[in-house]
Structure 1
Amino acid sequence: MEGGWPFRGGFLLCFTISLLLQGRGDAFTINCSGFDQHGVDPAAFQAVFDRKAFRPVTNFSVPTHVNVSFILSAILEVDAQLQLLTSLLWVTMMWDNPFISWNPEECISSNKLSVLVENLWLPDILVMESVDVDRAPPGLNAYVSSEGRIQYDRPMKVTSICNLDIFYFPFDQQNCTLTFSSFLHTVDSMILGMDKELGMITDTSRNVVQTQGEWELLDINKATPKMQMGSNLYDQIMFYVAIRRRPTFYIINLLVPSSFLVAIDALSFYLPAESENRAPFKITLLLGYNVFLLMMNDLLPASGTPLISVYLALCLSLMVVSLLETIFITYLLHLAATQPPPLPRWLHTLLLHRTSPRKCCPVVAPQRGNSGQGLGPAHLPGTKEPVELVGKGPGPREAELSGCPGSASTLPMRLWVQCSHMMDSLLFRLYLLFLATSITTVIVLWNT
């Protein structure tokens, strides 16, 4: 009797194990009695639903293979100041659940069912660059095949960190990274892969995104590096999304009006330097350009220094220099008509190299009673009396520098006038060079 209890306990244990071993081959096959014309009885999958808290494997030393792919359906926002990319993705994940299987021929020819994801184990796949909480809509379903293959499609609004380079704005191209990885499972328990070709993902995404917003999708590439975190090694898939901004809107609203204003300011050089309307005209253009910059300031990136900001700053600087040059020429002409000081030697030498001696010398028109008198200052606006310079003969130094004897009375005035015209011509050529360089740069950047 004393030895009966151990014998009876051992017998019960062996009997239980034998029952489990006998039913092992059919333990994961769902009974088709739960399938009928009115749907599926939840009790048929209850054993699977009860295991959703654990990774669905029969041997925990075997990792779960999860295939990840996505479709980029929209680029919602690119924040250059915060360096963020907001996009809408349709993510597809597929994995096998060995606890689910049934015979579709016996179960009213049904080889695929949709099941609420709340009843299934889901892999914790995240976008590592995401800075926002994942807000997936509730009540999503997953497709379950008769062989235990689960396909889970879900939309994701992802706000991810992206290193944006806006120097070539609005002709910029950005390359953002979307890294899919498990937050908890290492390579010992989860391995990531892809069930779709990368070209198919790129073509489908490009067809969806090509008519939405100011960005267009260029290409999608991938890499599969491992991530080492301490002693843990995680599997991950990195997708490199290359996008390009459509510049037409910014060209029409920023570059074209700015170029028009600069071109009008360049044409103002055809107004005579002695005209009293030239300076007010340039001041009006300068004020209009400042108003234009204030109105278009919201279109420019809030951070960084893009090339278009440099262009707008150069346009404004040229217009300011043009106005200052007009004021200075007006002052020189007034000074030449009243009491012209002697021209500096270096400036006189420069004028001699820039112009021919005939142009440097005033034309002498002999008049009755005033032999040797040149063209008086009465031909310039603002002069008072031409007799102020009459009767002055050329000094030996002035005659030597000018090479035109008998023109000392009007030589300083003529030299200052030529100096002002040379400055006007130089700035006008600088305007033309700037406009030609700007147009060439825009064409090159737009085509590349």
Structure 2
Amino acid sequence: MSKKSGNVALSRRALLRGVGAAGVAAVAGQAVAQTAIDEVITAPRRGNWDDQFDAQASRTTVAVVSNTPMLSPTNLFNIQQAIADYQAIVANGGWPQVNPTVKLKLGAVDPSVQQLRQRLMITGDLDRSAGMSNAFDTYVDGAVKRFQARHGLPEDGVLGEFTIKALNVSADTRLMQLNVNMQRFQEMMGKQLENRYIVVNIPAAYVEAVEGDRVALRNTAIVGRISRPSPTLDSKVSDVILNPYWTSPRSIVEKDIVPMMRKDPTYLTRNSIRLIDGNGQEVAPETIDWFAPKAPNLMFRQDPGKINAMSSTKINFPSPDGVYMHDTPTQGLFNKLMRFESSGCVRVQNVRDLVVWLLKNTPGWSRQEIERVIATRVNTPIPLTDEIGVHWVYISAWSAKDKVVQFRDDIYELDGNAQLALQTNIGVEQVGGSVDDDILPQ
């Protein structure tokens, strides 16, 4: 794994430690976790640990992230191997359900830990040499974190609601999910991939920048909510726009902006939204009758800046659905576990890193120059000089590393089993503030 990929993974673990809460610093998160481990180790009476306690087991989670790209041909073999492994698991009766009556985390002692150990051993997250103690020791802690990493969950080692639900998805359901995604891989294997390309895996809500069949960069993303799904697509990046304008769709003008102007006539001015007529001339908001039956037939265009709905950057490419990738002023949304909140476009965390990668072969656009232009707040389109593909895919189960199988929620319910969308069924459609790609200023 590259240094950059490691930093991204570490950042995500720290940010997601409290689901739905603001992110915390990675170093602070590690310190708190290690303090908890040390307290258990040094406790005068720590329960029936047998000989199953190794401090290193909790300090180091087995890496599940790979620099092999999502669309690499080698992943076809890996998912075939995963299917064979899960067929054997199903043939042997699957795995037990884990239904603890107490909160299971490091230091807990409860009979349900034996079921947890068995469950984790069957999928290779816990080595069988760890035994069947009732103690939630550091071996179990490390195994739970590995399981969480494979399922896109916060790696905190605690059996919370979402971890328990993921553990209790049956083996035959997971096998079905692998088979469905195997078909998707087979369909994609005919694609001619560019030497440099971007992949957005929609269920995983992340972006890969790929060069020479290696992941150069991974970025957390926000993708379309269930009612406005992000489409699958294949295209090529045409240009990057620094300090983009945001033009409001007609639906938002009618349903949101006009009602706001009726309540607060300063709304457009406060949010740097200008009215532009068909001749490209600016129209003063005070000349408009905002109580008329129909909204004015004008362009509502927001100036570049920090409060712009696309913030610093827009990545353009031809698309039948008119979607694109962009920055966002609401960075806190990247801290959430369920990042399905846009109207179809993809918001990219640390998008400037991706822009630097996109423009590295375009003369005159160093990191320093990109930052300088963003600081000017001047709208600046930059055509790319090299070919970079864009591929948005829907892969909810895959293996980019031998014997490491990744699963994600079937957010758009395309895999054929409602149980695979269990996590996403809670509260996703109740998220406020996201009315388009993306954020309507308040």
TM-score over 0.5 for the pair = no
Tell me the TM-score normalised to structure 2 length.
Answer: 0.20
- Greater share of strand: 1
Greater RCO, CA 8 A, separation 6+: 2
- Greater share of helix: 1
Larger radius of gyration: 1
Tell me the TM-score normalised to structure 1 length.
Answer: 0.20
